[in-house]
């Protein structure tokens, strides 16, 4: 849902050119491809992590070892096939062959993340966070290709700078959330012999790392606040909410000890990401 909301807000902010039918076809294909490849990645990761998830997700629906492998693979391949189909149609529509490689590349990365244990040690969290940022940044990239094709000019540098800041924020906050989730799931990961960052360097060091990232994020938000508060009071208010949210999160992280604490911290980061995504509405109004 967060991916879908982020993409819809990005579309509103970017004000794409073209008829309604053309926009629905173009960006509908991209959003469908994004959701299906993400769903396939979640499915295969959940399947291979069923051992650790017995502990981590006791009350949540999940794929277990009793699921038929053929059934899981059928759904997995179907979702990826839909994503590849969307990418192919989109590449032909925009006349840019490179778009055909986006979804296969993401599908391979998500599969490797699910299958290779050492990718869980930090690098996997980075890959997932890059994917989250890309779901936002690829939309202005596609719009740039469309404008070059139809209008022979790209998006303004100011617009690109804004989207880059939003994409970087999404990457940073999601990376923090992945580390928090690793702490939350540490017992199941040990049981499943997965070497995540908290297992490798310890829970306390991982907490300190996340706090440091939170402080850096808050400082970046303060910088942006002084850059734009005279331009938009609405955006300035959102940045204040992000700054206060990050500072509160850092304080709570330092004191967190139990699984429920880390579950709450993960939710807090989701809310901060949601507030950050609402900044896209400012560009739409602007």
Highest mean pLDDT among 102-106, 114-118, 205-209: 205-209
Domain count, the chain: 1
Which has the higher per-residue pLDDT, 55 or 191? 191
Q: What is the pTM of this model?
A: 0.86
pLDDT at 284 exceeding the cut of 60? no
What does the alpha-carbon distance between residue 75 and residue 146 come to, in Å, rounded to a whole number?
33
The set of long-range contacts for 24-29, using a CB threshold of 8 Å and a minimum separation of 24, is 25/93, 26/90, 26/93, 26/94, 26/142, 26/146, 27/139, 27/142, 29/86, 29/89, 29/90, 29/93
pLDDT for 66 equals 44
What does the alpha-carbon distance between residue 27 and residue 223 come to, in Å, rounded to a whole number?
33
User: What average pLDDT does the segment 274-278 reach?
Assistant: 87
Q: pLDDT tens digits for 131-187?
A: 999 988 999 888 888 888 777 677 777 778 888 888 999 999 999 999 999 899 888
What does the alpha-carbon distance between residue 283 and residue 14 come to, in Å, rounded to a whole number?
7
What DSSP string runs through 114-156? HH-GGGGTTHHHHHHHHHHHHHHHHHHHHHHHHHHHHTS----
Q: pLDDT tens digits for 253-266?
A: 999 999 899 999 99
**Predicted confidence band of residue 67 (pLDDT cuts 50, 70, 90):** low
pLDDT for 218 equals 95
What does the alpha-carbon distance between residue 41 and residue 34 come to, in Å, rounded to a whole number?
11
pLDDT at 241 exceeding the cut of 50? yes
pLDDT for 156 equals 76
Lookup result for tokens 């779901």: 135
What does the alpha-carbon distance between residue 280 and residue 14 come to, in Å, rounded to a whole number?
9
Q: What is the mean pLDDT of the chain?
A: 84
**Exposed e or buried b per residue across 64-74, where buried means at least 16 C-beta atoms within 10 angstroms of its C-beta:** eeeeeeeebee
State which residues form the domain around 188: 2-285
């Amino acid at each position: 849902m967060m991916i879908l909301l982020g993409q819809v807000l990005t579309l509103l902010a970017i004000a794409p050119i073209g008829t309604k039918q053309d926009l629905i076809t173009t960006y509908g294909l991209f959003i469908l491809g994004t959701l299906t490849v993400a769903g396939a990645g979640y499915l295969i990761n959940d399947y291979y992590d069923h051992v650790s998830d017995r502990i981590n997700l006791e009350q949540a629906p999940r794929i277990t070892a009793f699921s038929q492998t053929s059934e899981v693979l059928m759904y997995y391949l179907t979702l990826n096939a839909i994503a590849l189909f969307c990418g192919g149609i989109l590449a032909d529509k925009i006349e840019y062959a490179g778009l055909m490689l986006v979804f296969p590349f993401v599908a391979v990365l998500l599969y490797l993340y699910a299958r290779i244990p050492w990718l869980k040690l930090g690098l996997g969290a980075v890959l997932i966070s890059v994917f989250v940022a890309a779901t936002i940044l690829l939309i202005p990239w596609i719009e740039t290709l469309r404008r070059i094709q139809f209008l022979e000019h790209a998006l303004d540098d100011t617009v690109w700078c804004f989207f880059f800041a939003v994409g970087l924020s999404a990457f940073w906050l999601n990376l923090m959330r992945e580390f928090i989730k690793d702490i939350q799931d540490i017992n199941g990961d040990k049981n499943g012999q997965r070497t995540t960052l908290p297992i490798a360097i310890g829970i306390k060091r991982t907490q300190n790392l996340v706090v440091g990232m939170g402080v850096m994020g808050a400082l970046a938000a303060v910088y942006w606040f002084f850059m734009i508060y005279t331009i938009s009071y609405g955006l300035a208010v959102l940045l204040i909410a992000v700054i206060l949210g990050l500072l509160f999160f850092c304080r709570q992280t330092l004191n967190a000890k139990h699984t429920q604490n880390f579950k709450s911290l993960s939710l807090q980061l989701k809310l901060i990401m949601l507030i950050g995504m609402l900044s896209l509405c400012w560009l739409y109004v602007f």
